[in-house]
Structure 1
């Protein structure tokens, strides 16, 4: 008999995603809702990316917003298409490599979104607290370094968590009680002691949330001090520039904690909520973006009329 060390530590070849099976035999209503939401996420965020290419919208804020919209598109694409396919089949199956890739990119992109929101908070701080030096501070090189730092930070944070989970043996059962390969749900299936996994995951989850959270809070404390020294008119104008970002940050950091029986449904809705609302919030709060979207739609309208 060959030594057991010659075999892969993973004994199962696939996982079954059981999280959405509780919605019934014909879950067409949630399927349509999720599909419609996904289409709106793709359309709204793609529109922002396209519109930001306009030369009139080349300020740092729009550069960061473009990256945030790209993250929202990829973030939802890691989970929603697989969930939609699961609605149309009796059993939703995902391969082991596919499961861990989905797990890693879901965590990474979630962390990236928070990191970009941190960069945007710093941008608002410079714009309000140092308006005369804004263009000299927020150069293209600085913008690129900030975005590279956000992506680098978010790439590092989930790596230890994914690596330690991948090294665990999975010998059955292989049913993941979630809509996607959520780390905590997959961890329960490991045929080994996962106490170290719990500590590592909690540490890096705290790291990925607390560092951006503290930096965002610091930026807005400094902004608040600066606003207290301004007149009413300047204060209102400055607040308007921060309103959309503050709204998105509030949604991102207010994750609900539902009971176990509704945890999966709430998790699915929450994962799609911020990417769904981001383009709406920034469009409603920004007149320049509204005007650019309007001009884009008007530009395409004659072509559509001529084609018909």
Structure 2
């Protein structure tokens, strides 16, 4: 395309999840309700962790941050997707598309790094309990959260720059419901093989390496639990099981999408819905239903509010 004139694409059009208008109305209600649950559930966890001093520990500090990231992550794509169910033409400006792509990768990468840090936290708590308070002090936790946002920003900038510098002269139809790197670069008016390799190396390797690090840490934890009492094993496994379930629900789809070449599969849309909407909705349920401390703190918060209302 060097040296040739071309008309730059000014907007992209989504094909969305379906072309059936009746089904779109149903999906509008379903996903609208799911997004509301995401906001309510994750805000409730954040408020509970912040208001109860018993939960001012590294594990719950990270849990509160996970809820914040889940709200941000789902808000990048869900509101646009929900509003598009009521639109005949599902369009987004070029700049809006690049912004959505940037914040999508920022939040997704931040969540991957945070899940890895949470696994490290559990490893220290179970395998090195006497050193836990020194190794996972508030200062250390704050630095870790700051570092994950810096790392996520670098990753997202790389992804966005690799995408935005390509020439786009048409077509502008995206067979999806949000802007992501793989479907967008397929529309570029140039060979994107090298760019695709860089993107797979970046996103795919982050997902895969973090998943392997998580797997190794939990194998070590399981081995260390052999000498514990039955009650100690039960409590440790309960916490770890909730975290492992969240990891599987989030990292599984990420690995499926970002560790292969830019080819489309029929399951891509379903997988994308899963890690952008379903997982952020399920995370509060997973952590509250399996965690007695969080449930007790929520009951205390509820009773306190009822008391205030009656005074």
Q: Is the TM-score greater than 0.5?
A: yes
Q: 1:124 to 1:262 in 2, by over 3 A?
A: closer
| TM-score, structure 2 as length reference | 0.90
Residues matched between the structures, number:
302
What is the CA-CA distance between 1:266 and the residue it aligns to? 4.1
Query: Secondary structure in 1 aligned to 2:170?
Result: coil
What is the CA-CA distance between 1:206 and the residue it aligns to? 2.2
Structure 2: state its 5+ residue gaps.
258-263
What is the CA-CA distance between 1:303 and the residue it aligns to? 4.8
Match of 1:38 in 2: 35
CA distance in 2, matches of 1:267, 1:305: 45
Alignment map for 1:96-115 (pairs within 5 Å): 96-115=94-113
Match of 1:236 in 2: 234
What is the CA-CA distance between 1:4 and the residue it aligns to? 6.6
**Structure 1 counterpart of 2:280, from 275, 278, 286:** 275
Match of 1:251 in 2: 249
CA distance in 2, matches of 1:210, 1:236: 29
**Structure 1 counterpart of 2:297, from 292, 296, 306:** 292
**Structure 2 counterpart of 1:89, from 73, 87, 90:** 87
After the TM superposition, which of the residue ranges 248-257 and 70-79 deviates more from structure 2? 248-257
* Poorly superposed stretches of 4+, deviation over 4 Å: 256-259, 302-306
Match of 2:157 in 1: 159
Structure 1: state its 5+ residue gaps.
none
- CA deviations on 1:127-180 (whole Å, 9 max, x unpaired) are 101112211211111101211222222222232221011011111111111100
Q: 1:65 to 1:191 in 2, by over 3 A?
A: same
| TM-score, structure 1 as length reference | 0.91
Alignment map for 1:163-202 (pairs within 5 Å): 163-202=161-200
Alpha carbons 2:249, 2:275 under 8 Å: kept: no
- CA deviations on 1:190-236 (whole Å, 9 max, x unpaired) are 11111111111110022211232122122212212211222333222
- CA deviations on 1:99-141 (whole Å, 9 max, x unpaired) are 0110111122111111101111011011101112211211111
